C-alpha cells in the first residue's frame, strides 16, 4: 500500500508508454521515510504501517489517499479523534488508466490524470461520526485508490490516522485483555487503589508495554491523544515513581496538580504563522497523567476528600509509542471524618492534642451578653495556627508560638468557632482559655525573649550565675536544675521543650528556689540568680517556670550549663 497526495501520485507515475503498476511497499524505503518525519508532515499521503498526526480546522474538510494494488489485500484503518468529534468516510475508486496511447511514448497530461483520480466520488466503504477511536478492518479489500475524508464541525482539532495492509504482522496497538475494565480495589478519604488485567501484548507476546494513568475531575478520556490535547503545559508526563513507591501527585501538595512550568501554555499550532491563524492558549485544567511501568496495581494518593475523580488507563507499546485505552472508571473519595467539636467553658483552661498536620474544632458560646471576648493560647511545642469565626465570619487567623492573647469585640448571643491546625513537623499540644471577663487571666504574661542567659566569667567549679527577663506583672518564678551527661545535646534538649509541663512534674531534689519578681520599668525587668552546690566539671540543665495567678505555669527555654573542672 502507498499513501500519496494527488500531485505526488501523478509525479510518481512513470513517464513511459508501457503499462505500469503503482509501486508496492518498499520496506527499506518505508523505514527511511518513517525515520524522516518531515516526509509526511502536512501531507495527504498516508504511509503504510505508520501512524500520522494532523490537524483539522473547523468546517474545513481534509482528504487523504492511499493505493491498494492487488485484489484480496488485507486492510486496516484506524482514526483517533483527539479533542473533538470527527466525521470521517472511507471510500474506494478504480485506479485510472495508466497511459493514453499505444506506443506513442507520451504520457497523458498531468491535469487529465489528476481529474481522473479526484473527480470521481468512488464507492463508500465505511463512515463514522463521533469521538471514539474507530476502526475499519477488512481481510480482503479490492485494489484501487482509497480516499479518507475527515471533517470537524465542532472546533479546530487534532487527530491521528493509522493504515496498514499487513494488520496481522504489524499489531502496533497493544491488545486489551478479555476484561478491559479498571477496578477500584480500595477507597479512602485521600487515596484510591486501582487494579487492571495486563495486556496480552506484554504477557503473551513479550513486547515492551508500560501503563499510563490519567486522573481528572471532569470526565473519562477515550484516547491518550485526547489527554495530550487537554493538557495545557508541555510537561504532561511525570517521572515514573521510585520502586516500591506509588504515585503521590500532588507530591502534588494538593490534588489541583501543580506544575513548575505552569506559566507555559500548550498551543495546538506550534508554527501558527504557517496556517495564518492562531489557536488561543487554554487555561490549566485539573488533569494529570503518569506512566508507571508495567505493574498492574497502583495507589493514587493525596486526593481531596468527598470528591469525584475519573481514572483512565492506557497501555502503551514503547516500541511504537502507540496506545490503547482501557475502559475508564470513576470513584468518589470518602468524606472527611466529622470532627468532634469541643465546648469551651468561660474562664476554664482546656487541654488540646492535635495529630501531625491535623486540626481540632472548638466552640465557645457565652451565656450572657459581652462587650469583649479574650482567647489565650499556650502552644506547648511547635507553632500552631488559630482561626476564630463569629457566626461564620472570620475574625482572626494567626500562628501562635509560646503564649499569645487575643481580644475581640463581643456581640450579643454570638457563637465562636475556633479551628486549631497542628504543625507539619509533629503532633501539637496546647492549652486554650476563652473568657468574657477581662480580669480572668489564667496564663502568666511573658517577655518577648524567654531565654536564660548564663555568665561565663562568673562560672566556678561549684556555681553558675544566670539571668532572665520578667514583665511588669508580678509573678512567681521557680528555678530547677538537673544533672545531665556530658554528651547531652541540643536535639535531646529540644525533645524536652514541652512548655506546658509544670513544676509539679519535677523531683523535689531538683528545685533550687522560687521567688516573686516584677518591674514597672520594662527595661529593668531583669533578675539574676546564682545556683550553688554544683559539682566540678559537670553539666546541668536549668529550667525557669513562671506561675500565673490562676496557677498555670509556663516554662522558659531550657539552658545547658557546665561548671569549671579546675579552679
Q: Could you tell me the residue ranges of all domains in the chain?
A: 50-94+123-170, 173-235+285-336, 342-435, 452-562
Q: Quick one: cell of 190?
A: 485521600
Output the pTM of the full model: 0.49
Specify burial of residue 135 (Cβ count, 10 A radius: 0-12, 13-18, 19+). middle
Q: What span, in angstroms and rounded, lies between the C-alpha atoms of 511 and 507?
A: 7
Task: Give the CA distances from residue 178 to residues 17, 160, 175, 199, 206, in Å, rounded to whole numbers and listed in that order.
Answer: 55, 25, 9, 9, 17
Cα 252 to Cα 238: distance, rounded to the nearest angstrom: 11
- Coil vs helix vs strand at 77: strand
What per-residue confidence (pLDDT) applies to 249?
39
Q: What is the CATH number of domain 342-435?
A: 2.60.120.680
Task: Determine how β-strand 475-484 pairs with β-strand 511-517.
Answer: antiparallel
Which class does domain 50-94+123-170 fall in? mainly beta
* Cα 545 from Cα 452, distance rounded (Å): 11
Cell matching residue 430: 496546647
Provide the pLDDT for residue 454: 94
DSSP string over 420-443? EE--SSS-EEEEEEEES-TT---S
Angle at 289 between CA 288 and CA 294, to 5 degrees: 155
Q: Where are the beta strands (DSSP E) in 165-266?
A: 183-187, 192-195, 209-216, 237-238
C-alpha closest to that of 316 among 209, 178, 199, 238:
209
Residue 216 CA to residue 249 CA, distance in Å, equals 12
In this structure, which CATH number among 3.30.70.2740, 3.50.40.10, 3.40.50.1110, 2.60.40.10 belongs to the domain 452-562? 2.60.40.10
| Predicted pLDDT of residue 39 | 41
Q: How far apart are CA 547 and CA 525, in angstroms?
A: 16
Give the separation between CA 163 and CA 149, rounded to whole angstroms: 14
Radius of gyration of the chain (CA): 39
Asked if domains 50-94+123-170 and 173-235+285-336 share a fold, the reply is no
Give phi and psi for 111, each to the nearest 5: -65, -40
Give the span between the Cα atoms of 375 and 58, in whole angstroms.
Answer: 63
pLDDT of residue 326: 94
- Fold designation for 173-235+285-336: Immunoglobulin-like (2.60.40)
Print pLDDT tens along the chain (567 aa): 444 433 334 333 333 333 333 334 454 544 444 444 444 444 587 888 888 888 889 999 999 888 888 888 889 999 998 888 899 999 998 876 653 344 444 444 434 444 555 556 678 889 999 888 888 998 888 888 888 999 999 888 889 998 988 887 778 888 899 999 999 999 998 999 999 999 998 777 778 899 999 999 989 998 888 888 887 544 434 444 444 444 443 333 333 333 333 333 333 223 333 333 444 444 456 788 889 998 899 999 889 899 999 999 999 988 888 899 999 999 999 987 776 788 999 888 899 998 888 889 999 998 877 888 989 888 888 888 999 999 889 999 999 888 888 888 888 888 999 999 988 888 888 889 898 886 766 778 888 888 999 999 999 999 999 999 998 888 899 999 999 988 887 666 666 677 788 888 899 999 999 999 888 888 888 999 999 999 999 999 999 999 887 778 888 888 999 999 998
Q: Which of 467, 536, 468, 479 is nearest to 506 (CA)?
A: 479
**Nearest-10 Cα torsion for 25, 26, 28, 34:** -40
Amino acid at each position: 500500500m502507498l499513501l500519496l497526495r494527488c500531485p505526488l501520485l501523478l509525479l510518481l507515475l512513470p513517464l513511459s508508454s508501457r503499462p505500469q503498476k503503482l509501486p508496492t511497499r518498499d520496506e527499506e524505503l518505508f523505514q527511511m521515510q518513517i525515520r524522516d518525519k518531515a516526509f509526511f508532515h502536512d501531507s495527504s499521503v498516508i504511509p503504510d504501517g505508520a501512524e500520522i498526526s494532523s490537524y483539522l480546522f473547523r468546517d474545513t474538510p481534509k482528504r487523504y489517499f492511499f493505493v491498494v494494488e492487488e485484489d484480496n489485500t488485507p486492510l486496516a484503518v484506524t482514526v483517533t479523534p483527539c479533542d473533538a468529534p470527527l466525521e470521517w468516510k472511507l471510500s474506494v475508486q478504480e485506479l485510472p488508466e495508466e497511459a493514453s496511447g499505444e506506443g506513442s511514448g507520451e504520457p497523458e497530461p498531468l491535469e487529465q490524470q489528476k481529474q481522473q483520480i479526484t473527480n470521481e466520488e468512488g464507492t463508500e466503504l465505511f463512515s463514522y461520526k463521533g469521538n471514539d477511536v474507530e476502526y475499519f478492518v477488512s481481510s480482503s479489500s479490492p485494489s484501487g485508490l482509497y480516499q479518507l475524508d475527515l471533517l470537524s464541525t465542532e472546533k479546530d482539532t487534532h487527530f491521528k490516522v493509522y493504515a496498514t495492509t499487513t494488520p496481522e504482522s504489524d499489531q502496533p496497538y497493544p491488545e486489551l485483555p478479555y476484561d478491559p475494565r479498571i477496578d477500584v480495589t480500595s477507597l479512602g478519604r485521600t487515596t484510591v487503589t486501582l487494579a487492571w488485567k495486563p495486556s496480552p501484548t506484554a504477557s503473551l507476546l513479550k513486547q515492551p508495554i508500560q501503563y499510563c494513568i490519567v486522573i481528572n475531575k471532569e470526565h473519562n478520556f477515550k484516547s491518550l491523544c485526547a489527554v495530550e490535547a487537554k493538557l495545557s503545559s508541555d510537561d504532561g508526563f511525570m517521572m515514573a515513581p521510585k520502586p516500591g513507591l506509588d504515585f503521590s501527585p500532588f507530591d502534588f501538595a494538593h490534588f489541583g496538580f501543580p506544575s513548575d512550568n505552569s506559566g507555559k501554555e500548550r498551543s495546538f499550532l506550534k508554527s501558527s504563522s504557517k496556517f495564518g491563524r492562531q489557536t488561543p492558549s487554554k487555561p490549566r485544567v485539573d488533569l494529570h497523567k503518569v506512566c508507571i511501568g508495567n505493574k498492574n496495581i497502583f495507589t493514587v494518593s493525596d486526593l481531596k476528600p468527598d470528591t469525584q475523580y475519573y481514572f483512565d488507563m492506557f497501555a502503551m507499546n514503547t516500541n511504537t509509542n502507540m496506545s490503547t485505552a482501557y475502559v475508564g472508571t470513576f470513584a468518589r473519595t470518602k468524606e472527611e471524618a466529622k470532627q468532634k467539636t469541643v465546648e469551651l467553658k468561660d474562664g476554664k483552661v482546656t487541654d488540646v492534642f492535635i495529630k501531625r498536620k491535623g486540626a481540632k474544632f472548638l466552640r465557645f458560646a457565652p451565656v450572657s451578653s459581652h462587650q469583649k471576648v479574650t482567647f489565650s493560647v499556650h502552644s506547648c511545642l511547635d507553632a500552631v495556627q488559630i482561626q476564630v469565626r463569629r457566626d461564620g465570619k472570620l475574625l482572626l487567623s494567626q500562628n501562635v508560638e509560646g503564649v499569645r492573647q487575643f481580644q475581640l469585640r463581643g456581640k450579643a448571643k454570638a457563637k465562636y468557632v475556633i479551628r486549631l491546625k497542628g504543625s507539619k513537623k509533629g503532633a501539637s499540644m496546647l492549652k486554650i482559655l476563652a473568657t468574657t471577663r477581662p480580669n480572668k487571666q489564667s496564663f502568666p504574661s511573658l517577655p518577648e525573649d524567654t531565654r536564660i542567659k548564663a555568665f561565663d566569667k562568673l562560672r566556678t567549679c561549684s556555681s553558675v550565675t544566670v539571668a532572665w527577663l520578667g514583665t511588669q506583672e508580678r509573678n512567681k518564678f521557680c528555678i530547677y536544675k538537673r544533672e545531665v551527661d556530658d554528651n547531652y545535646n541540643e536535639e535531646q534538649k529540644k525533645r524536652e521543650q514541652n512548655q506546658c509541663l509544670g513544676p509539679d512534674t519535677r523531683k523535689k531534689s531538683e528545685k533550687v528556689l522560687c521567688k516573686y519578681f516584677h518591674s514597672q520599668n520594662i527595661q529593668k525587668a531583669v533578675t539574676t540568680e546564682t545556683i550553688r552546690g554544683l559539682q566540678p566539671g559537670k553539666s546541668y540543665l536549668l529550667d525557669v517556670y513562671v506561675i500565673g495567678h490562676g496557677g498555670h505555669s509556663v516554662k522558659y527555654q531550657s539552658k545547658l550549663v557546665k561548671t569549671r573542672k579546675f579552679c
